[in-house]
A and B are shown apart, each in its own frame.
Chain A
Amino acid sequence: MRLLAVGGVIAYRALFNWTTPSMFVGTLLVGPLFQLLFFAYLGRQLGVADDSFYIVGNAVLAASTACVFGGTMAVSNERRFGTLGHVLLSPRPRTLVFLGRAIPYAGNGLLIAAFSLVVGSALLGLRVPLAAVPGLAVTLAVGALSCAFFGLTLGALGLRFRDVWLVSNVSVSLLLLLTGVNVPADHLPGWMRVVGGGLPITHSAEAARRLVDGDGFGAALPSLSKEAAVGAAYAVTAALLLKVFEAESRRRASLDTL
């Protein structure tokens, strides 16, 4: 547990030694908020769904930038900055080291999602029932964690492929389309709904909408369980890929190839 928590926090602090508060505010708080406003106004104009649909969905999705790119950076930046070899030389289990990295990013994602929900609701006049707040906190946390493990899975590809940023950029844009956050799922083709069901955010956005609609935690629980299952699946996938690609990169002597 110590390795998981302390390792993750140190890696997170190291990342924020490179970046700045203005970068955090601009990229992770203001950017997702404008994304929320953009889709809320677009949805309002097209009459696709009400403001609540867009505010809640995009607030849950707001965690994705921090979590997907964070998870990717957790692995691929080690390679970029030449520290991957040192991490892999460590006598501790690498799976725990890397999975621990996802936790601070998920915390970060939770903060961003909560900020987007609060500010988006205040700007567009959405009233969230007080009773829904604890359930929403759990939902946003599960969504963020699931997203962070998804990011870590993409980051694991960074051990094998050079241009993992391309994969991350494309994945983040696909989340916009396939998770049903901006287009109601029943307006998407069947195959997109199936793919979306296997992506993070889809089920947590659904759970959050039920909570905001006042349906209660019981009604949100099935979707929340699905989101947790998706997150767990990505955590296992990330661990497997990290193991396989580490072994392969040692065999091919391509650990630090950029």
Chain B
Amino acid sequence: MSVLRLIGRATLLHVKQLSRSQFEIATALFVPLVQATLAVYLFRAGTEPHRLLEAAVGAGMMAVWSSVLFGSGGAIQNQRWQGTLEMLMLAPRPPALLVFPITLATAVTGTYAMIATLLWGGLVYRIPLDVADPLAFAVSVPAAILGLGMFGLLLASTFVLLPNANAINNTLEYPIWLVSGMLVPITVLPGWTGPVGAVLPTTWASRAVRESVTGSGPVWPSLGVCLALSLGCLVAGALVMSYVERRARANATLALA
């Protein structure tokens, strides 16, 4: 219970902190609107104008991934720049429990984008919010966000080991959008991308949300796979985080590594 309380309170703290940044908020709100507009015009121009809601939801999921990628990828580095990394690591809790709320907060702030794209689609482009399974949608969006937050911990802990993590961060946005089928169906991609997409929580998260919107398939199995993969990422991320912390303490490089 105290673990859940810690995660809840710390996530709220980091969401509040992220929400004070004009840059974060404006980026989380405006850039996804541009992407959603682009998606709407592309779908209208193409052969599938009836899939506009799917396009808006896909653009929202893309924005959640961008938020997790850039927020979680730089989570440790940001704490270092703020001078709070040492205090976090001194806390009498496993480091993964202290970093996970940060990555979860980046996913939660990504929901601003999801809400913004749906409102934008409804108000500006008159896209009716005809969700096939509203209950599944209401469950799958927060669950997908939780899953991406767990995936974020693996990113945060792995990237701290890599000297050029920023370069990877900047590279991973489009490939994950692509292989996860957030806007482009996986079926049109080369066959070898299938297995890559299948092991990513992002693929199952966007699939679950899309299925809840379109009713094209059972939501719960996709959501289950998403959460199972994400849990695996959480465990792997926690192990890597503990290793990184021990190494940084032993080498006295916490503020430098």
Contact = CB atoms under 8 A, between A and B. Distances in A.
B171 A31 contact: yes
Report, as a range, how many residues of chain B touch the other chain.
20 to 34
Nearest to A30: B171
A31 B170 contact: yes
A18 B167 CA distance: 13
Interface in B1-54: 22-23, 26-27, 30-31, 34-35, 37-38, 41-48
A34 B34 contact: no
B174 interface: yes
A182 B170 contact: no
Per DSSP, are chain B's interface residues mostly helix, strand or loop, or mixed?
A: helix
B23 A166 contact: yes
Interface in A8-67: 20, 22-23, 25-27, 30-31, 34-35, 37-38, 41-48
Nearest to B24: A166
A45 B171 CA distance: 23
Given A35-B174, A41-B188, A47-B46, A163 B167 contact: no
Contacts of A25: 167
Contacts, number: 98
Interface stretch (B129-137, B177-185, B196-204): B177-185
Nearest to A172: B31
Contacts of B189: 41
A42 B23 contact: no
Nearest to B38: A177
Given A26-B164, A30-B171, A166-B26, A182 B178 contact: no
B92 interface: no
A48 B167 contact: no
Contact of B42 (A27, A37, A43): A43
B216 interface: no
B26 A170 contact: yes
A68 B214 CA distance: 39
Nearest to A184: B45
A38 B41 contact: no
Given A26-B166, A48-B42, A187-B44, 16 more contacts: A23-B164, A23-B167, A26-B170, A27-B167, A31-B171, A35-B174, A38-B174, A42-B183, A46-B45, A46-B46, A47-B47, A166-B23, A173-B31, A173-B34, A176-B35, A188-B41
